[in-house]
Amino acid sequence: MGRSPPADRRGYAAAISAYAIWGLFPLYWYQLKAVPAVQIVAHRVVWCAVFVVGWLALRGESGWLRRALAAPRVLPMLVASSVLISVNWGIYIWAVTHGRVLDASLGYFIGPLANVLVGVLWLRERLSGPQWIAVGCAALGVMWLTARFGEPPWVALTLAASFCLYGLIRKLVAVESMPGLAIESLILLLPALGWLGFSEWRGVGAFGHGGAWRDALLVFGGALTALPLLGFAYGARRLPYSVLGLLQYLAPTLQMLCGLLFLGEAFTYDRLLGFACIWLGLVVFAADGWFGARHLPASG
């Protein structure tokens, strides 16, 4: 039996670029800290819709909307996923603009383990012994942070839960990544435009009132939403799943470094212990997936 084809360099470059952009997002959104988080999300939706629909049009995919909505239950599922991703974007941007980048990075560290729990609860998957250990370590870390700080790490848990459920829906719905993002953006477009109009009517609108640089950041945020997805989709088709699973930790690692090195957030001893428990769980989880993938029989 032959081996699967090796990953090409362009696949690595695309995937690493996608995770790097996601990891460096805090430095981008922090420049907009004077803008309310809901307005930033609204602009992100509007300009993401413009860029993604424009990209599909440039590729000549004129029938993408009809094809995407032809399958049953696609529209209601994408309505649900659009609500989840808007919540995820809103909490993440709020965290970045309110000095909670480390909490946000924790959410994306927890994410892979949250996916494991979703697999157990919704997809009736069975966990291996190492996976149970990994989930237990993460739970211990969350309990430690809750005990030491007097409340659950709600930013991290909300980000992990919303993105995990979003991923579950996108796994179940039969739509490609870019058409799916385009439909989600179009679903959210009217509420986003309505909120921006309401903000302008109240005299608190940000666009056009804070200089060309801030306006450019708001507009280009839509493109930055789509670009990593393009890179990720390209890399996912060319990289082994085990490699992609390890690369996903690049984004929260870079987010954490942004918070520590550039945004001045404190990494206390109590927080370090909580993170360490979760990191230990991730090491166990990643090692189990890596060795499991290496021992799968080659196809071909």
pLDDT for the residue 299: 39
Residue-level pLDDT at 4: 43
pLDDT at 1: 42
Q: How far is CA 107 from CA 92, 155, 247, in A?
A: 9, 7, 16
Residue 81 contacts residue 25 (beta carbons within 8 Å): no
Element counts in the chain: helices (H) and strands (E):
12, 0
Structure tokens at 71: 């399958």
pLDDT at 295: 54
Note down pLDDT in tens along the chain; length 300 residues: 444 445 578 888 988 999 999 999 999 999 999 999 999 999 999 999 999 999 998 888 778 888 888 878 899 999 999 999 999 999 999 999 999 999 999 999 998 888 888 877 777 778 788 888 988 999 999 999 999 888 899 999 999 999 889 988 888 887 888 888 999 999 999 999 999 999 999 999 999 998 999 999 999 999 898 889 888 878 877 877 667 777 888 999 999 999 999 999 999 999 999 999 999 998 888 888 777 655 544 434
Q: What is the pLDDT of residue 16?
A: 92
pLDDT of residue 293: 58
Q: What is the pLDDT of residue 97?
A: 94
- Specify the pLDDT at position 121: 78
The rounded distance, in Å, linking the Cα atoms of 184 and 80 is 9
Backbone angles phi, psi at 203, to 5 degrees: 85, 15
d(CA 151, CA 142): 10
The pLDDT, as a whole number, for residue 296 is 47
- Whole-model pTM: value is 0.88
